[in-house]
Amino acid sequence: MRLYLFAFCFALLTVSRLPLTAATPTATALVGQWRIDLARSTELSPWKSFDLTIALAGDTVTLERKLAWGRRDFTDRLVVDTARPDTVAPIDWWADNRHLGAYIGDDHTRRVHPQWLDAGRILRLSTDLVLSTQQGPRTVNVLTDFKVSASGEELTLTELRSTRNRPVVYVFKRLAAATK
């Protein structure tokens, strides 16, 4: 009997020490292709459409954005290892410039600190980057939450920049396989 009790306690202790990883069932709800709902989102200027694809492979999350307006389009990709405290990722061009005269800094990198919240239902990225402005280099922090609805059909992306007082909120609808 003591041996069984010891084995049970050891197994319980071992399981309780396992880290929360991206492979939790609710984290997979973020995976898919999403299209912005312009009527329910912060104005997207200078873009008119925004498609977001989220992929998950183990602890690695890949976020791919496609922004467009007329014949002009832009695609970027961010790959983040959520098992690491941060990821230094390349950034060729800062597409979030809203007529500000701010551009990506000389090093063309961003440092991304990932965190899973609410048992994997929310992915939070804290991103540090340096922008070039007319006044010189400016360090900026962008706190981004990706939160999927209970139904799994809506994704809310909330972005708060250290340089803005108001958050940017984008609401996405999941794309069905036929509309991709």
pLDDT at 143: 97
Count of beta carbons in the 10 Å neighbourhood of residue 140: 20
Return the structure tokens found at 15. Answer: 């399981």
Give yes or no for a cis peptide into 46 (omega within 30° of 0): yes
Q: Could you tell me which residues come within 8 angstroms of residue 6 by beta carbon, excluding any fewer than 6 positions away?
A: none
pLDDT digits (tens, 9 = 90+) for 20-41: 344 444 668 999 999 999 999 9
pLDDT at 124: 97
pLDDT digits (tens, 9 = 90+) for 81-132: 999 999 999 988 877 766 567 878 888 899 999 999 988 889 999 999 999 8
- The secondary structure of the chain, three-state, reads CHHHHHHHHHHHHHHHCCCCCCCCCCHHHHCEEEEECHHHCCCCCCCCEEEEEEEEECCEEEEEEEEEECCEEEEEEEEEECCCCCEEEECCCCCCCCCCCCEECCCCEEEEEEEEEHHHCEEEEEEEEEEEECCEEEEEEEEEEEEECCCCCEEEEEEEECCCCCCEEEEEEECCHHHC
